[in-house]
Amino acid sequence: EKEMSRKMQGFSSLDRMQAHFSNASRSYLDFELRGETGNLNQNRCSCQHDLPTPDYEYVNLPRARTSGELLYQQKKTYTSFPAFGVPENSNGFFKNQTSPKFDHQVVNENNHFGSPCRDVGTVTTPVTESLKSSNDEKRQSIWITTLYECSGSSTLHGISNICYAGRIDLKKIVWAVVFVAAVGFFATHTLEAIQRFRERPHTTIIDELESEEPMDFPALTICNLNSNRLSKLTVDDIYHIGFINGLITKNRTYSPFLQPNTGKMLSETLKKKIAQVVNGYQSPYAQFDMFEYSDRTGHEFNSVVVDCKYRGESCKGDDFWTTVFTRHGKCLTFNNPADSENVVKTLKGGIDNGLEVLLNLEQEEYIPVWSDNDELSVEAGFKVQLHSQQEPPFLHELGFGISPGFQTLVATQEQRVKFLPPPWGVCDDNNSKEDHKYFQNYSISACRITCETKMVLAKCGCRMVHMPFLPEESPRFCQPNQWECADEELDNLTSKDNSKCVCATPCDVRRYSKDRVKNKRHFLNETFEYLSAKYAKPQNYIRKNFAKLNVFFEALNYEKIEQKKAYEFGALLGDIGGQMGLFIGGSILTLLEIFNYFHDIIKDKTRRRKPSLSSTKSVSGY
C-alpha cells in the first residue's frame, strides 16, 4: 500500500489515470481519475471484498508519455466509493487530491472517505467552457509553434525575419513588405512565362549547306497562255464549244467580240466555219469529247520547243519531256520521268550547267478574242513553274510568266524545309490517302487538285480535262453544257472567302526558289538574223514569238530552313526556377518544405476531429 501511494504521487499531473480492480466471481471496481478534464465518473460499487487469489495483481496505468504497473499484496481489504472509488487504506494519498464531497459520501474516523453499501446511481461532472477554450488555445499554439519551427529552418529567404516569436516591430513590417513585393514580382514573371509557353512560339533557322553529292535538277513545266490553236478548230468544235472560246454565243449567233473589228483578224477559213455554224449547222455528234479536243488543239512539243540544251547537250526528246494537262490546257514538263532513277542531276552551279530552252509562242494561233472568259488570255507569253518531281504542277497559282523577245534567267536554289506540327506549327504528317488519292506523294498542290476534283464531281457529275482519275474510274469529262457548272465551282473554290479545299502544309517540303529572275532583251536583237536564217522565220516573227529561258543553280548548295521550338517545357521550368531563386531564394525543395508544413497542419486538424472519449460516463454498480 505504501508502494502504491508512493508511485501514484508521481502521476498527479497526468492527463488520465485509470486503475481497474476486478474479480470475476466476487467484486468489481472501476476507478477513473482525470486530473485536468474535471470529469469524474464512478459506477456504484460493492462493499469490502478481497483481491484475487494470486500473491500480486498487476494494474496497468495508461498515461500520456509512459506507462507503469503497480503491485498490490493479496488479502488487502478495499472499500470503493461512488464518487471516486478511492481505497480507504491509501495512506492519505487522496486526502488532498479529491474533489468536494457529495451527499452520499461519508468520512470515517481516519478522515478518509467512506461509503455505505448502497445503490447511489450515477454521478457526472460536466466539462466546463474553460476547458474547451484551453483546447482551442493548445491547437492554435501547435500551429504557431510549427510555423515558427518551419520558418526558422526554411530555405525561403526573408521568412525567418518575419515569423519569429515576439511582438510585431518595424523590422518585421519592413521584411514583410519586401517579402510580399518579391513574391509579387515572382508571380508576375511566372505568369508571363506560363503565357509564353502556352503560345508555343517557334524560331526559324536558315542555313546554307553544300551538297556532298549531285543534286536533282527541278522539274520545269511550261504552258502557253493560249490553250487552243485556231488552225486546229473544226466546225464541230465551234458548234459545241464556240461559246467557250468567245467565237459564238450560246444561241449560236455571232459573238459581239468579233464584230466589227476583231472579225478582220480571223482567217477566211475560220470565218467560213463560224458562218456555217451560225447559219444552222447541226453536228452529227451528240457527245463531244473534251479530252480529244484539248489534246488535238493544244500546242505541240515540236512547235513550242525550238531548241533545248542541258549542260551543253541536246535535251529535245521524249526522254526529257512529258505532256501534262493543267487549267492552261496542254503543257510540257521537263525532267519529270515516271522512273525517279532517270531524273537528271547537276554536278556544278552556273548557267553553263543548267537548262537552256528556246520557245516559240505561236501568236498566230492565238484566238483573237478578248473577254472576261477565263479560258481566253489577254496576254501573250508562257507560264512557267519550277517544282519537285514529287508534286504536280499548279501553274495558275504558282507559276511565273516569261515574255517573247526576252531572255529570262532563273538562278534557283533548292530549299529543304522542315515545319513543326501543332501546337508549335501548322504542318501535318498524318494526311489521309484520300487527300492525295490521285498522287503518290502528299503535297499542297496534290491536295488542292484532289479536292477540286472531288468538289466538281460532286456538284456537276463530271471532271474537267486537267483533273486526274484512277485507272478503275470512268473519266466522265464534262460536256460543253456542263462546262459552265464546273468553271463556276472552280472559281468558288479559289475565292478568298471559301474555306473549302484548305490543305495542310506537309512537315517536309522540297521546293525551289525563283526570286532571282532576270529578263534580258538584247540577246535577241543580236541574233535575229541568225535565228531567222536558222529557223526560216522572218525577223519580225522571231521578235514577237521567240523567248529564251535559262534555269540553273547558282551553286551546288541548298538552303536548309527548319522550325525549332523556341520555348519548351524545360525552358519554362528553368525560368520559373530562376525567378524563384532571384526574388524569394526558393527552389523545388522549398516547395516541398511548404507542402510538408501544411501537411502537418492538416494532419493535426484531422486527428483532433476524430471522436474523443465521452465527456459523460454512466457507471452501474453490481
Query: 529 to each of 6, 59, 309, 520, 541, how far by Cα in Å?
Result: 139, 134, 21, 18, 11
Confidence at residue 525, expressed as pLDDT on a 0 to 100 scale: 64
* Grid coordinates belonging to 469: 482519275
CATH node for 131-197+570-608: 1.10.287.770
Confidence at residue 4, expressed as pLDDT on a 0 to 100 scale: 52
Tens of pLDDT, residues 417-460? 999 998 888 888 777 777 888 998 999 999 999 999 999 999 99
- Closest to 223 in 3D by CA, of 14, 362, 395: 395
Question: Cα angle vertex 589, ends 587, 595, to 5°?
Answer: 110
Q: Are 320 and 301 a contacting pair, CB within 8 Å?
A: no
Rounded to whole angstroms, how far apart are CA atoms 585 and 605? 30
- Residues with pLDDT less than 50, the chain: 7-129, 131, 260, 613-622
Confidence at residue 327, expressed as pLDDT on a 0 to 100 scale: 92
Our CA dihedral for 338, 341, 347, 349, rounded to 10 degrees, sits at 20
- Closest to 40 in 3D by CA, of 87, 96, 91, 82: 82
Residue ranges of the chain assigned to CATH 2.60.470.10: 215-224+298-431+504-563
Confidence at residue 591, expressed as pLDDT on a 0 to 100 scale: 80
Residue ranges of the chain assigned to CATH 1.10.287.770: 131-197+570-608
- Measured in residues, the chain has a length of 622
CA atoms within 13 A on the CB side of 352: 0
Kindly give, in sequence order, each residue whose CB lies less than 8 Å from that of residue 438, ignoring residues fewer than 6 positions away.
446, 449, 450, 453, 468, 469, 470
Rounded to whole angstroms, how far apart are CA atoms 209 and 558? 6
Average pLDDT, the chain: 75
Kindly report the number of other CB atoms within 10 A of residue 294's CB atom. 18
Task: Please state whether the predicted TM-score (pTM) of the whole model is above 0.85.
Answer: no
* Grid coordinates belonging to 44: 456504484
DSSP letter at 505 equals B
Confidence at residue 17, expressed as pLDDT on a 0 to 100 scale: 39
Q: Are 410 and 550 a contacting pair, CB within 8 Å?
A: yes
Q: Are 384 and 401 a contacting pair, CB within 8 Å?
A: yes
Confidence at residue 526, expressed as pLDDT on a 0 to 100 scale: 67
CATH node for 215-224+298-431+504-563: 2.60.470.10
Question: Cα angle vertex 227, ends 439, 394, to 5°?
Answer: 30
Residue-wise DSSP of 142-174: HHHHHHHHHHHH--STTGGGTSSSS---HHHHH
Rounded to whole angstroms, how far apart are CA atoms 267 and 238? 14
Q: Are 414 and 558 a contacting pair, CB within 8 Å?
A: yes
